[in-house]
Amino acid sequence: MRLSRLLLAASFVCTLSACDSTTGPERWFDATAQGAMSASLSNSGRYAIVGSSDHGGSLWDIRQAERLYDWNHQAGGFSDLIAAGFSPEGEYAVTATTMDLVLWQVSTGEPIWFWSAPGEILDLAVSPNGDFALLGLANHQAVFFDVKQGGIRQTLRHPARVRSVALSADGRFALTGADDYRARFWDLETGDLVSEILLDNIVDSVALSPNAQLAFSSGALSQAVLWDTRNGSLIGSISGNETFFKRRLTHLAARFSDNGDRLLTGTASGSVFLWDTRDGRQLRHWQIQKRDVYGPVSTGIYDVAFDADSTYIAVGSNGIINILR
């Protein structure tokens, strides 16, 4: 590792006393009264898909705090959505149960196509214009599935369940996280494995910078790292709370800013962190809204997003959408 990378990696260790000042949301609202099974935010932070146990799937306008459409896979019934995603420009969305998926038009709320999945779905990401969905499957595969025409464009084989997936902004490259403790970076045009990195637990969360040169990968109660996809080299580790001892965190959600110089992460304990990817500094730390003021924080972060005017969005497993500043 070159000296510049060693210095950058060292700077990623951030102590609570030096850089942590926790705040709550500027405002928040309920998207479901009984908690959420899943949630996904559009890249702009304008819309949210929430999979609820009490009313199935729904599309929300975050700026208006308004539910726009009910998105269920069967008429007259509620669907258990376990994953969802928006296309980068926000025109299309895909929702998934464990065994089927639907492509939706965001502007009209209308379904476009319904498909049976090629395996049990664990996670998904959507390509530009809603043409493809990258599906992380329990059958040890990630597949690049054509959600407009049907069929599999590319199959990425793994030795374990594929728990988390991400796509580059142009849909050319994929990042996968599997239960064999490895995150892998792929070229979807050729199906070739370009680079990979080994963590010390199952990979819960992955994210790609828009230009696909920077990756985030996080293991359960374990490492959360930034790495260079071009060669698999480690840039640095982030944790977020290390006052007197190293604290293991589970990062469930992550997203890079459009230019890749900022990273938002959300944890299983309800914390949201903003990082500077250039030097590893922790810039902000929020704790999302709890349902019970007097109870412990018992909500994980399902997704995070950048909004305009230095505003950030986070949605938790308690069904509350948080606007952070």
Range list of H helices, the chain: 3-11, 16-19
Span 219-269, pLDDT tens digits: 988 889 999 999 999 999 886 444 433 456 789 999 999 999 999 999 999
CB 298 within 8 A of CB 318: yes
Distance of CA 179 to the CA centre of its chain: 17
Span 269-325, pLDDT tens digits: 999 999 999 888 899 999 999 887 655 456 899 999 999 878 999 999 999 999 999
**Domain ranges across the chain:** 3-324
CB 252 within 8 A of CB 268: yes
Predicted TM-score (pTM) of the model is 0.89
- What are the DSSP calls for 137-180, one per residue? ETTSEEEEEETTT-SEEEEEE-SS-EEEEEE-TTSSEEEEEETT
Find, among 216, 185, 223, the residue nearest to 202 by Cα.
223
What's the confidence (pLDDT) of residue 259? Answer: 94
What's the confidence (pLDDT) of residue 9? Answer: 39
What's the confidence (pLDDT) of residue 262? Answer: 97
Distance, in Å, from the CA atom of 273 to the CA atom of 251, rounded to the nearest integer, reads 10
CB 109 within 8 A of CB 65: no
Tell whether the model's pLDDT for residue 12 goes beyond 60: no
Architecture of the structural domain at 3-324: 7 Propeller (2.130)
Q: What is the dihedral of CA 239, 305, 175, 12, to 10 degrees?
A: -20
